[in-house]
Each structure stands twice: as structure tokens, then as C-alpha cells.
Amino acid sequence: MEMRPGQRQEGAPEVPSAEPGGPGPATEEPAEAGEAPGIPEAVRAAARQAPGHWIGVVDAGWTEDRTPPEWAVLGEWQSDGTGDVGAYRPNPAYRPSAAVLGWPEPTDPVDAAAQRAATGYGTADEALAALAGAEVTVVRAPDGGPLLAAGLDGTPVALVFTSAAHEFTSTALAHDTLPARDLARSLRGSGVSLMVNAGAAAPLLVPVDGLLDPPPGPEAGDAAAPRSGEPATSSPQPWPHTTGRTP
């Protein structure tokens, strides 16, 4: 499992930077079951520069240019008074990203946004916005409209795909590619939903009327912190106890 050392946590004191030497931090030999994971070399370096602190490791799925939230941190290593790495504290609020869960690499921006939304590293609104700007492939019915199927709750759905990797259609069937919003306009008021990439790790079920009026994107003025590629250094105190993962 690849881990990316991440940004300094909110409220942490300024400490010297740690420079990882590659795409992921080097580690010692894997630990036996039930033991703490091997200590990343970048964590060792950060601990030497910040004795008496807890050094967190951020999930590689967190890529935003701002302070990572608690749920994106796998756990923390304690740096003792001399800068040596001591106890490891796993984070019970941690949400594993798609990569940690072993999901396939996203095939396109819609698939990527859907995976982020499903794991909590993004939002459904972001996935909807990605779909609204994408082209999709749809199988045609004899009347020229999209071929409809029944969802689990009986709702009529049109099977659409954002990548050939997700398609399970035959070349013997009539199908074409068009902007997702054009397809949604043709189905406005019909009660049909779009089943996007039904066989993917993170399929989307989107009412067509919702696609025509997607919510606005994130505010341009959202606070951002420089991305450092470093272990996240927290305060001298460990996190308060948490009861479990946030849904």
C-alpha cells in the first residue's frame, strides 16, 4: 500500500521540512500482523526535526492544496524528546481512499470523481458536475431513445458509460456517444435516471433533472495551504479519542 506523506496539520508549530525521496516513503521491513507498520523514512526525518510531537501520515488519496482533515490521516507516530520515533497511534476516524481499498485506477474524470465521492474524498456534487461536462455512450432502443432498464427500486434507468472500460454492450446493438446533458434534456420530465458505469467500483445513479441544474462548484475563495509533500506534524498532544469512521 503506497502512502503519501502529507501536509502539516492545522495548529501545528512550524518545523523544518522533510523531503521524501520518491513516489512514496521508504519503509522498514513489513511488520508482523498486529504490529505497527514499518516507519516511513520521511517520518523519521520529521521526528528528528520536531521532537516531542506526533507525526501523521496522510492517505495518498488526499490531493487538495489545503490542510488535510483528520479522516485523511492513517495514523500518527510519536516523536520522543530526542527525536526518535516511538509509539504508533492508528486513527479510528481514518477513511481509506479508493487506492487503499484496491479499486481500479479511474478511467476518466467522471469515474475519478465518483470514486472520490464514494470514499468521502470528494462530494456527490463534484461527481455530478464532472458528469454534466462529459460525453457518454448510450444503447439505443427501437424508437431511437435510450434503452431503459429497471433499477433495484423499479425506477426506469438508462445505462450510460463514460469509458469503454465500463461498457458491457455488444457491437451488434445500436449505440452512440453524446454529451450527458444532451441526453438528460431528451429525458427531461420522464422520471428516468442515468445509471452511470453500472459495473464500475463506484457507479452513479443520477436523476436526469438533477443533471440539468448541477449545484455550483466550490467557492473560489476557499482557504488553501501550500502542499509540502511532508509528513503531517501535529501538536505535542495526541488526538482526542474518536469513536469510529465518519460515514
> What's the pLDDT at 36?
53
Q: How far apart, in whole angstroms, are the C-alpha atoms of residue 67 and residue 219? A: 16
Which range scores top for mean pLDDT: 22-31, 34-43, 120-129? 120-129
Residues 6+ apart with CB under 8 A from 87: 36, 77, 78
> What's the pLDDT at 215?
57
Q: Which fold has domain 109-212?
A: Trna Endonuclease; Chain: A, domain 1 (3.40.1350)
Higher pLDDT, residue 126 or 39: 126
Quick: pLDDT tens for 154-201.
999 999 999 988 887 777 888 899 999 999 999 999 999 999 999 999
> What's the pLDDT at 50?
81
> Please, what is the average pLDDT of the chain?
74
Q: How far apart, in whole angstroms, are the C-alpha atoms of residue 108 and residue 167? A: 13
Quick: pLDDT tens for 193-237.
999 999 999 999 999 988 887 555 544 334 333 233 345 544 444
Question: Looking only at Cα atoms, what is the longest distance across the chain?
Answer: 75
**Once rounded to an integer, what is the mean pLDDT over residues 142-149?**
92
> What's the pLDDT at 102?
93
Number of other residues whose CB lies within 10 A of the CB of residue 235: 14
State the pLDDT confidence band at 14, using cuts at 50, 70 and 90.
Answer: very low
Quick: pLDDT tens for 34-69.
345 678 888 888 888 888 888 888 898 888 888 889
